[in-house]
Each structure stands twice: as structure tokens, then as C-alpha cells.
């Protein structure tokens, strides 16, 4: 299948979707084969110094993603700076590139046949924060808000996951549930990935029985994509309480269908940090949407970047 590389965003997608996201060699090979032109790959076309082409952009995007070029070196032109980045890349892997000669197939050979040493591979990692700004659709709106998947309203939550009957507990946000909601719906699940995050918390968590498979599946997918490093803290799931600052609206945590992560960096009403900034969760969002979770960072007026809630327990097409 030939996919046309139009924008750096598509490269990011390719990198993100790569099954071996932790493996730089595989990613680079994958991107190279998918995205450099057939002419370049076959050797019938060369890249020449000062040339401007899509292949040059592809090369630069890869080098930026691997930290051998800076964002503002993304010129689309095979200039000396790019050649120096390529040379550094080659030297890292012990491959020589004659920067005075036309390059082309030699670049592809470099990306597709170099021998990677285990110890070297650890020093060079795909880092999305190095990718150029234009790679993000919009610094603060990326990832795009889905049209179909909206937040879970109170009446929907009561209808799908409830009912919860309750009374306020004390003067804070807490409630006391007065019907059998908890007994009938809340179960304990294991999320093994919680042991692998920077500040681990118990892998045993309580959630709504209708949310269990999707929560487990989502966390597994995050791990598969190599994204657990983005999660610094897990800040809770089931919690019988109102939404912050309310005495009438139940939190979706009370239904056991929402969880919070990286609270410190994703405060209520704050603009969630952009990709590459500390605590950013934006790279986790596409998978969450796929599994039927709405992201709190997509709230229009009450941004809640720490918050993921299961809107659709019937997103069965994603449950295997």
C-alpha cells in the first residue's frame, strides 16, 4: 500500500501507529519504506544538495524526530544543516556518508540497512516533542475534538450506569450513596500498567462493571504504543462525590467510569500542556477516543485535562 506523505502529522501518525514504537530502527524503516518516493527507494532518483522536495521533508522530519535536527531546521531544502544532521545520524551508527556527493539511495540504505547496536539504540529514541510545531494541527487544540464522542451528561450517566441515589456527606464534595448502586455495579479490576508508571499506585482499582473491559483495554493499548512514560501519576478512579465545586451534579467518578492522571500538570480550567511539555497527556487521547472515552481537555469551558471518562460502554467494536 502506498500512502502519500503530505504533512509531518502523517509521519507522526505512522510513528504512533507503528506496532514497535519503542524500536527506533523499525520505526525508521517503516517510515522510510512507506514514505520516501519509489524513485528514491529504487535509486533512480538522487537527492542533491540544495534540492527542495517531499523526500527532503521526509528526511528532515525523521531527523528532527530523532533529535539530529532542530524544529526550525525543517526547511524542506537539503541544505548544509540537514547534511550535518544526517552525518551525525550516520556517525552515531558507524556508517559513513560522503556529504560532498549527491545523496539519495545512500540515505535510504542508511535508514534501512544500518546495523544497530543494542547500546546505541538506547541512546537514540523517537521523541515526538522534537517534532516541528506544524506537525501538530494546533498547539492547544491537538488532538482534535471528535464530533461523535461528546462528554457524558449527568442524565446519561444515571441512565446508562446508574441509578445512584445519594445524600451529601459533610461539607465537602463527598456523597453517601443510599441505594444499592455500589453493591450491584462496582467491581475491582487489575490494571497491571499502574505498576509501571513513574509514581505507581495499586494496580487494583474499583470501577463500574460496564467500564472494566474498556479501561483495561485502553491501558494495555497505551502500553503497547510505548506511551506509559507520559503518565507520571495516577490520581484515582471510582470516588463517590460531586464534581468539584458543585452540590448538585455528580462526578462521573461516582459512577466508576472516569479516572484522572497527571493531575498536577493538568489542573481544572487549565490549558492542558502541549505535546513535549511535562505532564502532557495529549498523545494518549487518540487511543482513549477509540476505546470510547471522552477526554476532559476537550471540554469547552471547563477544561479538565487530567480526566478521561467512558462515554460509550457499547463501543463493542473495539472490544476483542
List of residues contacting Zn ion (CB under 5 A)? 258, 260, 307
CB of 6 vs Zn ion, minimal distance in Å: 36
CB of 307 vs Zn ion, minimal distance in Å: 3
Nearest to residue 259, comparing CAs of 318, 315, 207? 207
Residue among 32 and 262 whose Cβ is closer to Zn ion: 262
CB of 222 vs Zn ion, minimal distance in Å: 17
Residue among 243 and 315 whose Cβ is closer to Zn ion: 243
The answer to whether the beta carbons of residues 295 and 283 sit under 8 Å apart is no
User: Could you tell me the three cell numbers for 201?
Assistant: 499506585
- Paired with 80 in beta bridges are none
Residue 7's alpha-carbon distances to 35, 61, 76, 257, 280, in angstroms, are 11, 10, 12, 36, 22
Residue among 260 and 283 whose Cβ is closer to Zn ion: 260
CB of 183 vs Zn ion, minimal distance in Å: 23
Residue among 226 and 297 whose Cβ is closer to Zn ion: 297
Q: Residues 6 or more apart from 287 whose CB is under 8 A from it?
A: 218, 221, 222, 225, 227
Q: Give the residue nearest to Zn ion (CB).
A: 307
Residue among 236 and 276 whose Cβ is closer to Zn ion: 236
Q: Residues 6 or more apart from 153 whose CB is under 8 A from it?
A: none
Q: 247 phi and psi, to 5 degrees? A: -120, 10
Residue among 65 and 305 whose Cβ is closer to Zn ion: 305
CB of 109 vs Zn ion, minimal distance in Å: 50
The answer to whether the beta carbons of residues 256 and 237 sit under 8 Å apart is yes
Residue among 191 and 258 whose Cβ is closer to Zn ion: 258
CB of 270 vs Zn ion, minimal distance in Å: 13
Residue among 33 and 247 whose Cβ is closer to Zn ion: 247
CB of 55 vs Zn ion, minimal distance in Å: 45
CB of 152 vs Zn ion, minimal distance in Å: 11
Distance from C-alpha of 202 to C-alpha of 211, rounded to nearest angstrom: 18
CB of 144 vs Zn ion, minimal distance in Å: 21
Residue among 197 and 258 whose Cβ is closer to Zn ion: 258
Amino acid at each position: 500500500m502506498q500512502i502519500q506523505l503530505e504533512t509531518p502529522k502523517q509521519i507522526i501518525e505512522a510513528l504512533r501507529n507503528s506496532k514497535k514504537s519503542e524500536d527506533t530502527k523499525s520505526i525508521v524503516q517503516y517510515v522510510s519504506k512507506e514514505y520516501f518516493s519509489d524513485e528514491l527507494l529504487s535509486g533512480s532518483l538522487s537527492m542533491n544538495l540544495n534540492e527542495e522536495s517531499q523526500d527532503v521533508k521526509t528526511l528532515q522530519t525523521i531527523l528532527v524526530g530523532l533529535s539530529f535536527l532542530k524544529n526550525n531546521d525543517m526547511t524542506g531544502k537539503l541544505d548544509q544543516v540537514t547534511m550535518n544532521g544526517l552525518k551525525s545520524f550516520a556517525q552515531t551508527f558507524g556508517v559513513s556518508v560522503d556529504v560532498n556527493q549527491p545523496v539519495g539511495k545512500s540515505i535510504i540504505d542508511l535508514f534501512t540497512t544500518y546495523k544497530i547496536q543494542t547500546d546505541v539504540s538506547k541512546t537514540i529514541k523517537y521523541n515526538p516533542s522534537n517534532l516541528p510545531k506544524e506537525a501538530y494541527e494546533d498547539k492547544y487544540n491537538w488532538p482534535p475534538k471528535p464530533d461523535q464522542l461528546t462528554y457524558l451528561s449527568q442524565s446519561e450517566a444515571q441512565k446508562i450506569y446508574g441509578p445512584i441515589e445519594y445524600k451529601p456527606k459533610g461539607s465537602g464534595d463527598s456523597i453517601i450513596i443510599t441505594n444499592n448502586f455500589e453493591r450491584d455495579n462496582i467491581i475491582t479490576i487489575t490494571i497491571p500498567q499502574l505498576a509501571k508508571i513513574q509514581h505507581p499506585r495499586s494496580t487494583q482499582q474499583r470501577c463500574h462493571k460496564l467500564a472494566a473491559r474498556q479501561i483495561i483495554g485502553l491501558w494495555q493499548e497505551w502500553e503497547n504504543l510505548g506511551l506509559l512514560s507520559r503518565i507520571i501519576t495516577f490520581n484515582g478512579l471510582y470516588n463517590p462525590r460531586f464534581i468539584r465545586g458543585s452540590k448538585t451534579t455528580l462526578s462521573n467518578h461516582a459512577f466508576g467510569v472516569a479516572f484522572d492522571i497527571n493531575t498536577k500538570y493538568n489542573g481544572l480550567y487549565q490549558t492542558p500542556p502541549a505535546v513535549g511539555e511535562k505532564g502532557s497527556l495529549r498523545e494518549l487521547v487518540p487511543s482513549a477516543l477509540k476505546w470510547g472515552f471522552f477526554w476532559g481537555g476537550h471540554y469547552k469551558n471547563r477544561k479538565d485535562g487530567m480526566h478521561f471518562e467512558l462515554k460509550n460502554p457499547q463501543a463493542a467494536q473495539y472490544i476483542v
